[in-house]
């Protein structure tokens, strides 16, 4: 026990035990995360003699402003999406990114961050989730690689202005009540620091963050959809091979289609090259395993057993190679003709790899398959050839890999779109002006959406991700227990005690870390309310700049990256990204430590300590 500080009582130990158990279950995912959250809720009441959490307090998370706000934001987002307005933005982003995954990630972070500085970050993420997941599907990218960056960028953007996040408003009010010079905050008072944090955080998300993020949801891959897994192979041409000196046309057989020639750092589309095969070339071929084995033996080749061929690799090559799905439309001149009779290779530099008819796939003897209306073909071709194929009118290109995105704008109900967007803007304006709490303003927006016939009541219920709601509602009482038993105050007292022997700037960093830790467990607003008075008191005791400590606590609370329940936008992307609890720790912990250094030094440079 610290002299004069909170005691390490049995009550505190029990709460820490519940926290440890909850974290263990969240990490291992032995049971669903929302079920774990409800188990925490029940445990706190069962152990109420130690946790001091009553039954009413345990279920208060279901009426928490954060919970209500997320429910409302899901519905508001669904209303805007229903009008087609989000699709228009998606078309614009698609044209800017042109199907490039790195550009899509850059656009996600680059648009979300600044926008979240002027619009509360929760509705920004709510509106962007459906757009980002759709674009991820179209660009054959795992949404897991985009949705945590979306949430984190919105959180970083929330540090730009006073209205970026509700935490800023709470911190401003508490600091003003404590009589801190410089409080309450003006709209752009800490924008320079916010810009620094946003830039550093964005660079991290575009580089290290991508390396750390797993692809929990597998990217959309046409080769797997058309049953070609195990039917694409790479073979090496040694100097002794009989193929050396022969052209691709001379080397291919009826059963073995050569799609690419990889020569050094060049990838040649086989149908476009009349070059002779050279020793050292690597050929990408399409055939079943037995046929590839025979081809290798007869031609003196060597198979590369670990070379897995993906759609992305098939979209490489000089001549602008691409892989595409095409549909045989009604009235096509190809209906009733076998694939081999269409002469697609001669006419369009195209090789048909597989045919799909409903749930049935044709992957053997493809050239003998007779085409019907509605059949889907997997085609490897040059992009120019694919363009000419589509211009012929006999086939409709529905999806191409590596060739950019061509999303046609859908019809939009302008009146309904303006009404939906106006409602969302109204919600944000009312909350930013402090006319109503954001939860009440958002519920008012839901009422307006339903009354205005933007969204139907049944669709409103379907729009809510209830797993997220139960997860948040279940862990909120844990914060109550930490506050009421003195567990949170005990942690803060240790930081205060340690600070006596540290330089002021190190104490500032410690309060940043403490606030960030608590924000990940008991919500950002609660961590600000708890830590800010202690931080200001400590600053006064050591003769430091109290305003600097206020900013450190505020920024730390706004960047709770390490748990899905740390911030509501983290919860919103949890299910769509297919994430695990550990993903937030893996990506968020290094970012939290990086921003501890950057924010502390930024505050010291701009305001002094």
pLDDT by residue (tens digit) across 536-547? 878 887 788 999
140 and 193 in a single domain? The answer is yes
What's the average model confidence in pLDDT over 482-502?
76
**Domain-embedded: residue 384:** yes
234 and 147 in a single domain? The answer is no
pLDDT digits (tens, 9 = 90+) for 77-105: 778 777 777 667 777 777 777 767 888 89
**Domain-embedded: residue 505:** no
Highest mean pLDDT among 242-251, 266-275, 549-558: 549-558
Residues 514 and 535: their CA atoms lie apart, in Å, by: 10
pLDDT at 86: 65
72 and 198 in a single domain? The answer is yes
> Mind spelling out the 3-state secondary structure of 142-192?
CCHHHHHHHHHHHHHHCCCCCCCCHHHHHHHHHHHHCCCCCCCCCCCCCHH
**Domain-embedded: residue 279:** yes
Final residue belonging to a domain, choices 279, 314, 349: 314
Chain center to CA of 39: 28
Residues 368 and 165: their CA atoms lie apart, in Å, by: 62
340 pLDDT above the threshold of 80? yes
126 and 207 in a single domain? The answer is yes
Tokens linked to 25 = 């279950």
**Domain-embedded: residue 513:** no
What's the average model confidence in pLDDT over 396-400?
75
User: Interior CA angle at 212 toward 208 and 216, to 5°?
Assistant: 140
Identify the weakest region by mean pLDDT among 21-25, 72-76, 491-495, 514-518. Answer: 491-495
Other Cβ atoms closer than 10 A to 236: 17
**Domain-embedded: residue 422:** yes
- Decide: helix, strand or coil at residue 23: helix
77 and 215 in a single domain? The answer is yes
Is 105:149 a contact under the CB 8 Å cutoff? yes
What's the average model confidence in pLDDT over 209-236?
82
> pTM for the whole thing?
0.66
pLDDT at 589: 94
74 pLDDT above the threshold of 60? yes
Final residue belonging to a domain, choices 422, 445, 467: 467
107 and 194 in a single domain? The answer is yes
What is the DSSP secondary structure assignment for residue 226, as one 8-state letter? T
Residues 364 and 342: their CA atoms lie apart, in Å, by: 17
**Domain-embedded: residue 490:** no
What's the average model confidence in pLDDT over 346-368?
81
pLDDT at 551: 95
Residues 412 and 410: their CA atoms lie apart, in Å, by: 6
pLDDT digits (tens, 9 = 90+) for 575-595: 888 898 889 999 999 999 999
pLDDT at 315: 67
pLDDT at 213: 92
Tokens linked to 303 = 């198979």
pLDDT at 447: 94
pLDDT digits (tens, 9 = 90+) for 281-336: 888 888 888 888 899 898 899 988 766 676 767 766 544 567 888 888 877 888 88
More confident residue, 239 or 172: 239
For residue 416, name the pLDDT band (cuts at 50, 70, 90). confident
155 pLDDT above the threshold of 90? yes
- Per the document, the length of the chain is 609
Identify the weakest region by mean pLDDT among 219-228, 398-407, 543-552. Answer: 398-407
343 and 446 in a single domain? The answer is no
Cα 104 to Cα 136, 151, 390, 511, 583: the distances in Å are 8, 15, 26, 36, 21
**Domain-embedded: residue 439:** yes
pLDDT at 273: 61
Q: Is the dihedral of CA 46, 51, 56, 61 positive or negative?
A: negative
pLDDT above 70 covers what percent of the chain? 90
What's the average model confidence in pLDDT over 208-212?
93
216 and 226 in a single domain? The answer is no
Where in the sequence is the domain holding 129, given as residue range(s)?
66-153+186-220+414-467
264 and 212 in a single domain? The answer is no
101 and 195 in a single domain? The answer is yes
More confident residue, 267 or 406: 267
158: nearest Cα among 149, 168, 144, 150? 168
Q: Where are the beta strands (DSSP E) in 482-577?
A: none
Residues 263 and 463: their CA atoms lie apart, in Å, by: 51
Final residue belonging to a domain, choices 279, 297, 314: 314
Q: How many domains, in total, are found in the chain? A: 3
Task: Tell me if the bond preceding 184 is cis, omega within 30° of 0.
Answer: yes
Residues 333 and 309: their CA atoms lie apart, in Å, by: 32
Provide the mean pLDDT of the chain.
82
195 pLDDT above the threshold of 80? yes
pLDDT at 364: 80
Other Cβ atoms closer than 10 A to 38: 17
Residues 342 and 375: their CA atoms lie apart, in Å, by: 14
User: Interior CA angle at 144 toward 141 and 150, to 5°?
Assistant: 100
Residues 524 and 606: their CA atoms lie apart, in Å, by: 24
CATH number of the domain that 392 lies in? 3.30.70.1450
Cα 310 to Cα 221, 224, 233, 284, 366: the distances in Å are 7, 9, 10, 11, 20
For residue 73, name the pLDDT band (cuts at 50, 70, 90). confident
147 and 134 in a single domain? The answer is yes
What's the average model confidence in pLDDT over 346-369?
81
606 pLDDT above the threshold of 90? yes
431-435 contacts at long range (C-beta below 8 A, 24 or more positions apart): 431/120, 431/166, 432/120, 432/163, 434/169
More confident residue, 53 or 149: 149
**Domain-embedded: residue 61:** no
pLDDT at 307: 61
124 and 206 in a single domain? The answer is yes
Cα 160 to Cα 120, 129, 325, 432, 517: the distances in Å are 11, 22, 44, 14, 22
Query: How large is the angle between the packed helices 466-484 and 33-46, nearest 10 degrees?
Result: 30
């Amino acid at each position: 026990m610290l002299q004069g500080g909170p005691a390490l009582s049995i009550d505190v130990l029990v709460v820490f035990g519940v926290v440890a158990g909850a974290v263990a279950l969240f990490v291992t995912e032995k049971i669903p995360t929302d079920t774990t959250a409800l188990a925490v809720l029940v445990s706190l009441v069962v152990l109420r003699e130690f946790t001091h959490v009553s039954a009413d307090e345990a279920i208060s998370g279901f009426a928490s402003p954060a919970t209500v706000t997320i429910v409302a934001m899901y519905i508001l987002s669904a209303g805007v999406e229903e009008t087609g307005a989000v699709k228009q933005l998606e078309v614009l982003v698609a044209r800017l990114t042109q199907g490039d995954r790195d550009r899509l990630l850059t656009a996600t972070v680059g648009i979300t961050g600044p926008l979240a500085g002027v619009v509360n970050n929760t509705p920004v993420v709510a509106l962007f989730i459906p757009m980002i997941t759709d674009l991820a599907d179209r660009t054959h990218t795992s949404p897991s690689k985009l949705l945590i960056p979306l949430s984190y960028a919105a959180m970083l953007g929330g540090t730009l202005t006073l209205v970026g996040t509700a935490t800023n408003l709470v911190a401003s009010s508490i600091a003003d009540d404590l009589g801190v010079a410089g409080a309450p905050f003006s709209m752009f008072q800490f924008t320079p620091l916010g810009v620094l944090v946003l830039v550093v955080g964005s660079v991290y998300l575009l580089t290290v963050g991508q390396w750390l993020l797993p692809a929990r949801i597998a990217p959309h891959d046409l080769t797997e959809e058309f049953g070609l897994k195990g039917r694409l192979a790479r073979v090496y041409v040694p100097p002794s091979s009989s193929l050396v000196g022969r052209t691709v046309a001379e080397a291919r057989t009826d059963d073995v289609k050569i799609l690419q020639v990889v020569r050094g750092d060049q990838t040649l589309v086989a149908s476009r090259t009349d070059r002779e095969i050279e020793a050292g070339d690597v050929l990408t071929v399409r055939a079943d395993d037995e046929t590839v084995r025979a081809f290798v033996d007869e031609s003196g080749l060597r198979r590369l057993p670990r070379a897995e061929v993906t759609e992305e690799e098939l979209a490489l090559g000089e001549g602008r190679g691409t892989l595409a799905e095409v549909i045989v439309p009604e009235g096509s001149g190809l209906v009733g003709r076998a694939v081999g009779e269409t002469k697609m290779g001669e006419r369009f530099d195209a090789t048909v790899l597989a045919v799909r008819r409903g749930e049935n796939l044709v992957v053997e003897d493809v050239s003998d398959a007779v085409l019907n209306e509605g059949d889907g073909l997997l085609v490897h071709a040059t992009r120019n050839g694919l363009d000419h194929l589509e211009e012929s009118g006999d086939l409709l290109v529905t999806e191409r890999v590596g060739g950019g995105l061509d999303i046609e704008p859908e019809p939009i109900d302008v009146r309904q779109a303006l009404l939906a967007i106006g409602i969302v803007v109204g919600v944000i304006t009312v909350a930013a002006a402090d006319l109503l709490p954001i939860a009440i303003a958002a519920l008012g927006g839901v009422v307006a959406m339903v009354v205005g016939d933007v969204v139907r009541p049944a669709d409103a219920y379907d729009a809510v991700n209830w797993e997220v709601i139960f997860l948040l509602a279940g862990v909120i009482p844990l914060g109550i227990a930490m506050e009421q038993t003195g567990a949170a105050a005990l942690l803060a007292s240790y930081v205060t005690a340690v600070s006596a022997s540290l330089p002021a700037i190190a104490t500032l960093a410690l309060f940043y870390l403490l606030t960030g830790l608590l924000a990940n467990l008991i919500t950002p607003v609660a961590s600000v309310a708890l830590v800010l008075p202690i931080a200001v008191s400590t600053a006064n005791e050591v003769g430091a700049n109290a305003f600097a400590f206020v900013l450190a606590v505020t920024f730390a609370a706004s960047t709770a990256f390490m748990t899905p329940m740390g911030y509501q936008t983290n919860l919103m992307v949890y299910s769509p990204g297919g994430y695990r609890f550990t993903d937030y720790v893996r990506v968020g912990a290094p970012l939290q430590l990086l921003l501890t250094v950057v924010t502390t030094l930024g505050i010291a440079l701009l305001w002094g300590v």
